[in-house]
Chains A and B, each alone.
Chain A
């Protein structure tokens, strides 16, 4: 009756409920913090710690099971499908913010400027508003600001992310060719490039806030700019952390040419983050 020769069915999982507890504590803490309650930040940090312990524990468990050969090909397919559909959900999440940018730039801001028929907002409320992009709206919310150009740091960051896509593929080739040195070197390069991207973006944000008057509160331009690039930057961080774990596991001798789901998942995720950035570079910075 053993299920494990065909499909590995784990029994009695404790990490899921611990992780849920950690996450709900983090969110309840954050909500309390936003409402100005004193216990908010403590609760949030505590929840995050529990959540990180869960991640560490659960992934250690999975890595151990994988290395001991408990996962059949069929189990591997389930994991791959899981990752694929997770990335699809992420695409939809970013789609919301790209859609927001498109809608405001092409529809609602021109309507505020008097375009279209039947909209009286312009005449009645803001007759002097001239619809252009970038804008912080007829109320000049957040005050004067300078929009972010494309050809300085953002372009450098584009080159960095594109190169990191190459290095991670190079690492993958190393893994497939049983060339562990190439695998580790490729991963180190990818992680370094990933964290450099994040550092440059942090510098860019610093410039925006201190020199350019561009903040999250700078009307719809600031809102869409920081929301899109911010969520993307967060995903780069997560991706780089995942790759660091993969690097650590490679260094410990994990992964075989025929069994390295964690590497693949990390690489897929990294390419996804890469493609989102190209969209950002074109629609947020260039156009």
Chain B
């Protein structure tokens, strides 16, 4: 035992990163791990995006163009899984790793070794998932929900996909435990809970959601595995099981899961908007309570994804009304963002532009959600492009836009260099215009009856599909600008060095702006004595 101790005492005197590529494999530093997550997420964003391009290319015209129906369905499935588990979630975990310790005045994450493991579990899970693309019978083609009995017809890929879900679950749970322990245990003494930046609050609540739901998804796919390979009858009516049971379990996971992607989005928006409005965040505590309410409600609304499955009428009614309740705390948030900007001395740098677009376009996605919560109306929308339009509005011009905003907002802090504002704004306008050309027509297609997850369609849907595809190609191409800006900024950007606070008076809003740009490898080894707050009453 003594040898081990000695080795680690030796370690204590090394404060820089390890040399070479190995640094990134064995690092326990929250900034390194945050960078790993963000780079991985950006790479997966382009992988998942390429799949979306294949989908839009196939749907450009009616008839079969480029791919066979099986592969098309694999693409919709894999696009969703890669974007959800490979891009959006890891990107927010990356932001959490980078920012939470710096925002709460902590030296690092609470459990640094586990932090390293949760990143590599993520990589392992996504690699296992990606490997199914090259297997006999193709990648899973059942949609990301993996509903039985359809998913049980998957070829060789099925157990690999299931185990990849297990690995992704382990990764998320470890990441979430780390975030909770960090926030509860590592705050600077002055950083009371109600002084924490909203980003930290939203991640605390998100982490709780993750720990509660990832085991549920793991359980559901485990039953798929045993139904296929070990003769169980969980989802087989002949043996007394019920395929609808899977849908209940899946959506008990799935509904909080979509909030895992939106709550940190809210947090970043609440962090950025006050800085560029040069005001405090309006209604800080109501933001905290609204976030908690949304998280609570997310656990009791799952069957609104299943209105047409044949539930008892009491179930339809309950899930309809419960779902409508979500509009209230969400409305509080939209109101608060708007009120924060009200009479502010606003400037419109790229992070702010993306944040404003988020407020407007997310609200649109929210409203279509409200439409679908009406059970009888949902019978028309269910499984159509209207649904696709709805959740893409809440994910692309909401989560993805805010991730872009976060990139522009914090890149100068991370790299010490300013990005090129002109190209940033070009990226913003191209993205915002094209994302609406891409997704807005899908509302019309859905209302007219075009089903999801079908590679061909009736000629009446041709025009809007072509417009949507054109929007999709422009949106996809525009994102290369973001890649360019990220690389350019890391390499030195415009040549303008970022100041410590980067944005005017940002130090009044967050501790990270009191640190140098870029921050040293270890920060806040002694906790800061004074902390800023958005709270009006303190």
Footprint of B on A, CB under 8 Å? 1-4, 6-7, 9-17, 19-21, 23-24, 27-28, 30-31, 34-35, 58, 60-61, 63-65, 67-68, 70, 74, 77-79, 81-82, 85-86, 88-90, 92-93, 95-97, 99-100, 103-104, 107-109, 111-112, 116-119, 121, 125, 135-139, 141-142, 215-217, 219-224, 226-227
Contact = CB atoms under 8 A, between A and B. Distances in A.
B18 interface: yes
Given A13-B113, A96-B220, A108-B244, A1 B239 contact: no
Contact of A92 (B123, B127, B215): B215
B20 interface: no
Interface in B15-31: 15, 18, 25-29
Contacts, number: 252
A216 B232 contact: yes
Given A93-B215, A220-B239, A9 B233 contact: no
Given A11-B11, A81-B110, 13 more contacts: A2-B525, A7-B186, A10-B8, A10-B113, A20-B124, A27-B166, A60-B4, A78-B181, A96-B249, A100-B249, A220-B234, A222-B233, A223-B233
Contact of A70 (B8, B234, B236): B8
Nearest to A117: B312
A104 B12 CA distance: 56
Interface of B: 1, 4-5, 8, 11-12, 14-15, 18, 25-29, 107-108, 110-114, 116-117, 120-121, 123-124, 127-128, 156, 159-160, 162-163, 166-167, 170, 173, 176-178, 180-182, 184-186, 211-216, 218-220, 223, 225-226, 229-234, 236-242, 244-245, 248-249, 310, 312, 522, 525-526
Contacts of A100: 223, 234, 245, 249
Contacts of A6: 107, 525-526
Given A6-B107, A223-B234, A28 B5 contact: no
> Secondary structure of the A side of the interface?
helix
> Secondary structure of the B side of the interface?
helix
Given A34-B159, A65-B8, A103-B245, A92 B216 contact: yes
Contacts of B159: 30-31, 34-35
B41 to A, nearest CB: 18
A104 B233 CA distance: 11
A121 B312 CA distance: 15
Nearest to A107: B242
A20 B1 contact: no
Contacts of A81: 110, 177, 180-181, 184-185
B128 A27 contact: yes
